[in-house]
Chains A and B, each alone.
Chain A
Amino acid sequence: MMDYGGEARRRKLTQERRNNMERQNRWVVSIFLMLAFTLFLLGGTITYAKETIKIGGIVDLTGPTNDIGVPWAQGIADYLDKINKEGGIKGRLIEYFPIDYAYKLPQAMVAYKRLATEHNVIALIGWGTGDNKARIPLVNKDKIPQLSAFALDQTEPYTPYNFAHMISYEHQIMGMLQYAKDRPIEKGRKIRVAYVYSDAEYGRAPIRYLKERNYAEKMGVELVDEQIIGQTATEAVSQALTLKKAKPDYTVVVLTPKPASVFIKDAKKVGLETTFMGFSFLGDYSLLKLLGEAGKGLIVAAPCCYGHETDVPGIKKIWDYNKKYYPERKVIELQYVYAWLYGMIIEEAIKRAGDNLTGESLKNALETFRNFGTDGISRPITFTSTDHRGSYEFKLSVANPEKGTFESFSDWIKVEK
C-alpha cells in the first residue's frame, strides 16, 4: 500500500516552503523598491528650480504650542505665497520650506541642518524660544539670519544673525507693571502683583531676568507670589489656591493659550479675585473660546494690531489676500498678523539686499531698517547693528468675551530700553 496521505502532506509542505520562499522574495523586492523610492526622492530634492530665493521655516504644527503655532505658520506661508502670486521680488520667486518640529529640540536641530545644508536657505523663520537660543551659535557660523517668533530677551541683547520685530517679554511685563502701579486700588498700599509662568523657556527666561534685577521692588510694587504651570498642564488648582492666599491685585500671566486657559479657569473656580495681565501670545481668539465668561477683564499686551481691526490699512491687505484665496477663513489670529509682519520685513530686506543675495547681505540689509513702516499693523521697526529688537512699544487690550475679540484700550506704550 502506498501512503497517499504522507505523500500529500509532503507535497503540501513543499508547497508551503515554496510559498515562504516567494514571500521572502517579495520582501527583497519591496526593500529594493523602497530604496529606489528613497533615491528618487533624494534626487527630486536636489534637482530643484534654480532662480528661487530659499527661505526655511521651523514651525510647530503638532507640538504643545501648536494652538498658536499653526496660525503663525499660516501667516508666514501666506505672505511668501502672496509675494509669489504678485510675481516675486525682482522676478525671483520665493521657495519656502516649512518643517514641523513638534516643539522638540532634537527635531529642531535636524530640521535646521536640513534647511541649512540641503536646501541652502538664506533666511530662517524660527518659533520656540528654547530652540532659537540653541541655534544662535549655528546661525552665526552659517551666516543665516533667523527671524524669531519669540521676542529677544535681555540676557542676549545682540547676536549678529538673530532678529525679532516684537517687544521683548521682559519689556512687556515692565510695561504692565508700570500700568498696574499707576492704578492704585487703595491709597497708601502698594500694588500687589504675582507672576504665573510656563515651565518652558519662554516663561522662565523673562521672569528670571526681572527677578535678578528686583524689578518689581524698584518699580514700587510688591511681588507677593509666583507660580509655575507646566506647558502641558491639565489642571492648576493647587497653584490657584496658593495664589489666592497671596491676594494679588494683578497677576502677570506668561503662558500660551492652552495652559493659560487651564490656569485662569481654575483660578476663577477657586475664587481668586485679581486682574489677569497676559503677555503678547495670549491675545488669541481661541483662548476666549476656551475661557468663555471667565475671560472677562483679561488684559493682554498687544505688540501689533488684531485681525479684526480692519480699519488699519495693513490688516485690510491681509483680509484682501484671504478673501481672494481663502474665502472660507472668518478670523485672522494675532499670530497670523505677527507672522505676516515677518513676511513684510523679509520682503523689504530682500529688496534692499540687492542682487548679490546671501545670508550676510540680507543681514546687512536688515540692519538698515530705520522706522520701517508696516502699514499701521505695528509701530515702525528699527534694526541697528547693535540692537535687533525691532520695537519697544506695545498696546494693552482687554478681552471682550461676548464678541470673542480683544479691544485695544491704551495708546502705544513705550518701554525704556
Chain B
Amino acid sequence: MPCGLFHTVYKTDEHIFKTIWVKSWLVAFGFFLLLLPFFVSNYVLYVCNMISIFIVGAIGLNILTGFTGQISIGHGAFVAVGAYTSAILTTKLGFPFWIALPIAGFFAAFIGMIFGIPSLRIKGLYLAIATLAAQFIIDYAIVHWERLTNGITGISVPSPTLFGFVFDNDKKFYYLLLGFALVAVVSGRNLFRTRVGRAFIAIRDRDISAELIGVDIFKYKLLAFGISSFYAGVAGSLWGHYTNVITPEHFTIVLSIDYLAMIIVGGLGSILGAVFGVVFMIIVPELLTTVGILLKSTFGEITALISAIKGLVFGVTIILFLVFEPDGLFEIWRRVRDYWKLWPFSYR
C-alpha cells in the first residue's frame, strides 16, 4: 500500500479532489450543509447566510488581490454597485431577480474595470489609493444621487421569486445562497486551472516576466478587475434581496476593509482560504457577543465593557494571525490535514 500520493500522469496531478477519502468527506459535508437548516435556529441560519454571501464577495477579492496581486480597497463599493443596480432594476423597472442579478454582476464588472484602468500604470500602495478613490466616489454618488438611489434612506428590495415560490425566509434563502456560494467556490477554483487564471498568477509573481512570456498585462489586469467586481456585484445583489433593505451605511470603507481582512486571515491566493476567512470573521464577533450576554447574566453590569473590548479582542486576534500564521487559516488547515493524512502511521 502506498504511504503517500504518487502521481504518474499529469492529469491526476491536476485533479481537485485527489483521493476517494476527500470525496467521501466532501459528500458527508454536503449532506451536513443540506440538513443543517432542520436543526438550528433562524439566527444560526442568518449567520450561515451572511457567510454564504460574503464567500461570494471574498472569493472575488481574492481573485484580484490574492491571485493577481492587485490590492483593492474599493471592493465594498463594487458590492454596493451590484446591490444598487439590482435593487433599482427590480423596484423601478420591475425586472425579476433572476435577470437583475446577472445584470448587477456585469454592471459591477464594468464599473470595476473602469476603476481598474489605473492598474496598468500603478501598483502596490499607489493602486490601493486609486481603488480607495473608487470607494469614496461610489459612496458619494450613492448618497447624493437621491433620485436614483433614495440617498441615505435606502431602497427596500423585494424578495426573489421563482415560479411563484417566494424566497422570503431564512431557510429558503439558505439553500439559494448555499447554491450561489457553491457556484462561486467551484468557478473560482476552476478559474485557476485555465489559461486566464495562470496568467493572473504570472502577473502577481512577476509582471515583467509575465509580459515577456506573452501575457497581455493590460488585458488580464482589467479582466481580473472585471471578474473580481462581477463576484462583488453578485454578492451585493444577494445581500440586498436577502435583507430586503439597502442603505449606503452598509457599503462604506469598513466593508472593504472587512473583505481585505477576511482574505488576509483566511489566506491570500487560495479559494478555500477565502472561505475560511469569511467563516472566521463572521463567527468570531458573534461568539464574542454570546460571551458578553453570558457574562452579563453572571456578572451584571459588564455589557458596556464587553462591547468595548470586543473590537480589541478582534484586532488582537488578527494581529496574532499575521504574526504567527501569515499564510492564514488555509495554512493551518493544510497542516492539520497533512498530519491526519498519514495518521496513525506518520513518520516521526
Binding site for B on A (CB under 8 A): 18, 21, 24-25, 27-28, 31, 38, 41-42, 44-45, 61-62, 70, 73, 77, 95, 97-100, 102, 104-107, 109-111, 113-114, 116-118, 130, 133-134, 137, 199-201, 204-205
Contact = CB atoms under 8 A, between A and B. Distances in A.
Interface in B311-346: 311, 332, 335-336, 339, 346
B245 A134 contact: yes
20 contacts: A27-B332, A44-B294, A61-B303, A62-B308, A62-B311, A97-B296, A99-B289, A99-B292, A99-B293, A106-B250, A109-B46, A114-B43, A114-B286, A114-B289, A134-B243, A137-B156, A201-B152, A201-B153, A204-B153, A205-B153
Contacts of A73: 303-304
A100 B307 contact: yes
Contacts of A133: 245
Given A45-B294, A199-B152, A100 B310 contact: yes
Contacts of A77: 301, 303
B307 A110 contact: no
Nearest to A138: B244
A199 B335 CA distance: 49
Contacts, number: 110
A61 B336 CA distance: 39
Interface string B204-227: 000000000000000000000000
A200 B335 contact: no
Contacts of B47: 110, 113
A105 to B, nearest CB: 5
Assign chain B's interface to a size class.
Answer: 35 or more
Interface of A, secondary structure class, is helix
A61 B151 contact: no
A70 B304 contact: yes
Given A70-B304, A117-B41, A130-B249, 20 more contacts: A18-B348, A25-B339, A41-B287, A41-B290, A41-B294, A44-B294, A45-B293, A62-B307, A73-B303, A77-B301, A100-B292, A100-B310, A102-B307, A104-B254, A110-B286, A113-B170, A116-B43, A118-B43, A200-B249, A204-B152
Contacts of A98: 296, 303
B42 interface: yes
Contacts of A45: 290, 293-294
Contacts of A100: 289, 292, 303-304, 306-307, 310
Contact of B151 (A102, A116, A137, A204): A204
Interface string B151-191: 11110100000000000001000000000000000000000
B339 A28 contact: yes
A109 B243 contact: yes
Contacts of B154: 130, 134
A320 B262 CA distance: 49
